[in-house]
Amino acid sequence: MAASPLRPTAPTLAKYPIPVELITTLYRAQGAELDALIAGMPEYARARVAAYCVERERLLDLGHRMAGTCGEATLIKAAGSKAGAALFAQSRPAPVPEAPVPEAAPSEPEAPAAAVLRIIEFPPAPVLGEADTAQSPATCDAARPKAA
């Protein structure tokens, strides 16, 4: 079976065996505990562990985290030229694209868009009692109480 060009080769890993106890401890550690364990290791040892971890799918996140603390030259030395460079690139966050710069504002401010008003006309409602009796204005005045 041929080795992938982006993975460390078996002879490279055989030169630098990784103790299972170390991998187990790192795998079970979380948060600040893992950071403390990583900080206590030399850079070349972290690069070797990272190269070992990327070979195993369940250890891939640990490998990327370890590789994120190493320089590219150290990763290349520990894992080989192609695998070390690929591991270095994968362990770094993707660059955030810059937001486009807005063009200069026009010299005249634009008028805000006016909301369209729609007027709905309704027919007048019939007044109660209007159909029964037609009152003239004089009758209406006579029905009003007079002020004293």
Residue 87 lies in a domain: yes
Token pair for residue 144? 């009003």
131 falls within a domain: no
**Residue-wise over 28-56: b if at least 16 C-beta within 10 A, else e?**
eeeeeebeeebeebeeebbbbbbbbbbbe
Question: Range of 39's domain?
Answer: 10-91
The answer, as to whether pTM is greater than 0.85, is: no
Distances (CA, A) of 11 to 3, 22, 105, 106: 11, 21, 63, 66
Confidence of residue 1 (pLDDT cuts 50, 70, 90): very low
* 30-65 residue pLDDT tens: 888 888 888 888 999 899 989 888 888 888 898 889
Q: What is the pLDDT of residue 73?
A: 92
Residue 80 lies in a domain: yes
Residue 35 belongs to a domain: yes
**What tokens does 4 get?**
């992938």
In a domain, 112, yes or no: no
112-133 pLDDT, tens digit each: 666 676 777 777 777 776 555 5
Examine residue 128 and state whether it is found in any structural domain, yes or no. no
Number of domains, the chain: 1
Q: Counting Cβ atoms within 10 Å, is residue 110 exposed (0-12), middle (13-18) or buried (19+)?
A: exposed
| 5 within a domain of the structure (yes/no) | no
